[in-house]
Structure 1
Amino acid sequence: MEAPSSDHQPSSVQNGAVLPELLTEFMVDMSCEGCVKSVKGKLQNVEGVKNVDVDLSNQVVRVLGSSPVKMLTEALEQTGRKSRLIGQGVPEDFLISAAVAEFKGPDIFGVVRLAQVNMELARIEANFSGLSPGKHGWSINEFGDLTRGVASTGKLYSPTTDTEKLLGDLGTLDVDEKGDAFYSGVKEKLRIAELIGRAIAVYETEDKRDPGLKAAVIARSAGVGENYKKLCTCDGTTIWEASSKI
């Protein structure tokens, strides 16, 4: 599937889809130029990374490229420094450019991240654990009502009446023998701003008509340049938590 043309040209392929470049921002625990050299060196070796910019004074690292967040996070972990994702998207004036859905257990854990690349294309990344091995259907559903789990999230999301091309159909997740699944791909015509308050659902099989296993509400996430560190009012110490392994 070929992405529509934009200023951000695709540079890698995963799951059969062309992945466009995004700017991903992390807060990273750094104190000196040696830290900067270590972080830049590790990230620049990640496949798909085009450019790394480090702002030592604010402890912010900005990575431009097609690499999934999972790969970037793992590279930062290898430096031994705490890090936290604080923004993702493209430096364009979208009203809402990023969203996230978090699956918090007790059995199924996961994070789904969505980022607007241009008005005709969105990029989707997902990490799951705790699923049974094999193929599982997943989708964007109409409502964020989780009172009855997947059953109360409604039908697959589709802003048109074309039932053969439901925009909310995300296909299948391939879960390995450990119960883990990773996905990175793109979805045409998907508008992130229209997904806030809806839900991501995961099913027991590939059949999205089954009762479903778990759902999570889609919430707005910070775009690039929107999330800044907080300082302790008493002594100026930076307060933030390290990223999770998901």
Structure 2
Amino acid sequence: MKFTVLGGSGLIGRQVVQLLSAAGHDVVSASRSTGVDVISGKGLDEALTDADVLIDLTNSPVFDESSIEFFERSMSNVGAAAEAASVRHHVILSIVGVDQVPRLDYYRAKVTQENLLENAATPYSIVRATQFFEFVEAILSWTTEGDTVRLPTTPLQPVAGADVAAAVAAAASGNPLQGIRNVAGPEVFPLDELGRITLAARPDGRHVVTDNEAGLFAVVTGDVLTAPEGADLAPTHYRDWLQQPQPNAR
């Protein structure tokens, strides 16, 4: 099969490209660096020429309310190009519990993306993943003041980026789900504990203080960001991943 991966140079995209190529598929990696722009539509028709499957891993450069406009415009352009190219399967990556956190602008933007995909003409699959291991450091940085990191006790069930890429590649290689597949890591952590585990493994002088009013995830209620019933649980454990040398996430 021929696959086109939009956002093919990103953290998940480049791993999906590698997995599909290793499986013997014809894979086009498309991004702004290769002349493809999902907002203007430039290069989309060429990138999708003869594609059987489109995997859209592009992302908004910001996480505020303007991210909604990003997905509205990108999905309009990408959906039209996919239909014109007679693509048989359109896959996107979203977030576990994304429709349960209406107070976060970016999550509302991803719900918009999902809705636009569901209402388009091309058969589709949505892979929802929990927060990536690779982004835990960034989460800590959002609420760092001096040597103190303030974090709420919000339950998270983080997952390795490599396991997410494997789930996306598997979904894209199968028949369209016309629905959602959830993937999560094998363990649930309160976010403050996750921070302490991270800084114990990679000490930098900071320490964690529990603060249920701190940061983006303070507005999340309950366990909506953990694996729902029927989710696929990935094999990689966070503490094991922390012991491995990691390339820079992008």
Global fold match (TM > 0.5): no
Q: Determine which structure has the larger strand proportion and give its number.
A: 1
TM-score by length of 2: 0.30
Which structure has more RCO (C-alpha within 8 Å, separation ≥ 6)? 1
TM-score by length of 1: 0.31
